[in-house]
Amino acid sequence: MLKISDLVKEYPGGLRALDGISLTVSEPQVVAVIGSSGAGKSTLIRCINRLVEPTSGSVRLDGEELTTLSRRALRRARSHIGMIFQEYNLVERLTVMENVLSGRLGSVSLWQAFRRNYPSEDVSAAFELLDRVGLKGRHDDRADALSGGQRQRVGIARALMQKPKLLLVDEPTASLDPKTSRQIMRLIYELAHERGTPALVNIHDVALAQASADRVIALSDGTQVFDGTPEGLSPEVLNDIYGEEDWSATIRKVDDDDNGDENGDTEAPVEKSKPAPRDIVRNGAVAE
Ligand SMILES: Nc1ncnc2c1ncn2[C@@H]1O[C@H](COP(=O)(O)OP(=O)(O)O)[C@@H](O)[C@H]1O
Ligand SMILES: [Mg+2]
pLDDT at res. 111: 67
Residue whose Cα lies nearest atom 9 of ligand 1: it is 286
285 lines ligand 1 (CB under 6 A): yes
pLDDT at 97 over 80: yes
22 lines ligand 1 (CB under 6 A): no
Q: Which residue has the higher pLDDT, 157 or 104?
A: 157
* Nearest bound ligand to the CA of residue 43: 1
pLDDT at res. 243: 78
41 lines ligand 1 (CB under 6 A): yes
Using the mean position of ligand 1's atoms as its centre, give its distance from the Cα of residue 112 in Å: 38
pLDDT at 285 over 50: no
Q: How far apart are CA 8 and CA 32, in angstroms?
A: 20
pLDDT at 148 over 60: yes
Using the mean position of ligand 1's atoms as its centre, give its distance from the Cα of residue 106 in Å: 28
pLDDT at 115 over 90: no
Question: Beta partners for 285?
Answer: 282
Q: Say which DSSP state 138 is in.
A: -
Q: How far apart are CA 81 and CA 167, in angstroms?
A: 6
Percent of the chain with pLDDT over 70: 83
Q: Which residue has the higher pLDDT, 247 or 102?
A: 102
pLDDT in tens, 24-74: 999 999 999 999 999 999 999 999 999 999 999 999 999 999 999 999 999
Alpha-carbon distance values, 186 to 145, 160, 240 (Å)? 23, 15, 27
**Which atom in ligand 1 lies closest to the alpha carbon of residue 204?**
22
pLDDT at res. 256: 47
pLDDT at res. 260: 44
Using the mean position of ligand 1's atoms as its centre, give its distance from the Cα of residue 43 in Å: 6
Using the mean position of ligand 1's atoms as its centre, give its distance from the Cα of residue 42 in Å: 7
Average pLDDT, stretch 180-188?
96
pLDDT in tens, 206-220: 999 999 999 999 999
Average pLDDT, stretch 250-261?
53
241 lines ligand 1 (CB under 6 A): no
Using the mean position of ligand 2's atoms as its centre, give its distance from the Cα of residue 77 in Å: 23
pLDDT band of 112, cuts 50, 70, 90: low
Average pLDDT, the chain: 86
pLDDT at 263 over 60: no
**Which atom in ligand 1 lies closest to the alpha carbon of residue 284?**
27
pLDDT at res. 114: 64
Radius of gyration of the chain (CA): 19
Using the mean position of ligand 1's atoms as its centre, give its distance from the Cα of residue 18 in Å: 9
Using the mean position of ligand 1's atoms as its centre, give its distance from the Cα of residue 244 in Å: 23
pLDDT in tens, 48-60: 999 999 999 999 9
Using the mean position of ligand 2's atoms as its centre, give its distance from the Cα of residue 282 in Å: 15
Alpha-carbon distance values, 228 to 116, 215, 239 (Å)? 45, 6, 16
* Nearest bound ligand to the CA of residue 282: 1
Inter-residue contact 43 to 100 (CB < 8 Å):
no
Domains parsed from the chain with CATH numbers? 2-287 (3.40.50.300)
**Which atom in ligand 1 lies closest to the alpha carbon of residue 9?**
12
Lateral strand order in the sheet of 81-84? 81-84, 166-170, 199-202, 30-34, 215-220, 223-228
pTM for the whole thing?
0.86
**Which atom in ligand 1 lies closest to the alpha carbon of residue 35?**
22
Inter-residue contact 95 to 127 (CB < 8 Å):
no
Average pLDDT, stretch 13-23?
96
Pocket test for ligand 1, best of 219, 286, 288 (most atoms within 8 A of CB): 286
pLDDT at 261 over 60: no
38 lines ligand 1 (CB under 6 A): yes
43 lines ligand 1 (CB under 6 A): yes
Average pLDDT, stretch 150-167?
96
pLDDT at 269 over 70: no
